[in-house]
């Protein structure tokens, strides 16, 4: 018997290696994109927490200041709460155009962005 592999066997082996390499590359690209999106999300969450703390403390200060101006501290807190109620209603009414579409676009852009090497 001849030990030389036939052309078909060599072609089959190369096709099999190409398929395995392509699958591995797709897995690595998916992992890279997931890591990129999750790291971006983590940084946004951290920034949001810090800004949220700043806004919360600023709101306490504004509420106390308004309360002193109005003659009763609780009035200041009611005024700030009313402002946030109006803001929440506006967000509910316009959530698709203000939140859903921009966030979706950011995520899709990050996923489809080509990495410069």
Domain annotation covers residue 67: yes
pTM over the 0.75 mark: no
Taking CA atoms, 101 is separated from 32, 46, 96, 106, in Å, by: 24, 22, 6, 9
pLDDT of residue 23: 95
pLDDT at residue 15 greater than cutoff 80: yes
- Cα 53 from chain centroid? 20
pLDDT at residue 117 greater than cutoff 60: no
Domain annotation covers residue 83: yes
Domain annotation covers residue 2: no
Domain annotation covers residue 51: yes
pLDDT at residue 108 greater than cutoff 60: yes
pLDDT of residue 27: 92
pLDDT of residue 70: 93
């Amino acid at each position: 018997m001849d030990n030389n592999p036939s052309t078909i066997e060599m072609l089959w082996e190369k096709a099999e290696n190409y398929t395995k390499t392509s699958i591995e590359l797709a897995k690595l690209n998916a992992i890279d994109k997931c890591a990129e999106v999750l790291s971006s999300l983590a940084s946004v969450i951290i920034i949001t927490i810090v800004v949220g703390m700043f806004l919360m403390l600023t709101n306490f200060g504004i509420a106390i200041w308004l309360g002193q101006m109005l003659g009763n501290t609780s009035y200041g807190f009611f005024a700030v709460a009313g402002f946030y109620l109006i803001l929440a209603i506006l967000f509910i009414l316009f959530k698709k155009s203000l939140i859903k579409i921009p966030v979706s676009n950011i995520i899709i852009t990050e996923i489809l962005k080509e990495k410069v090497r």
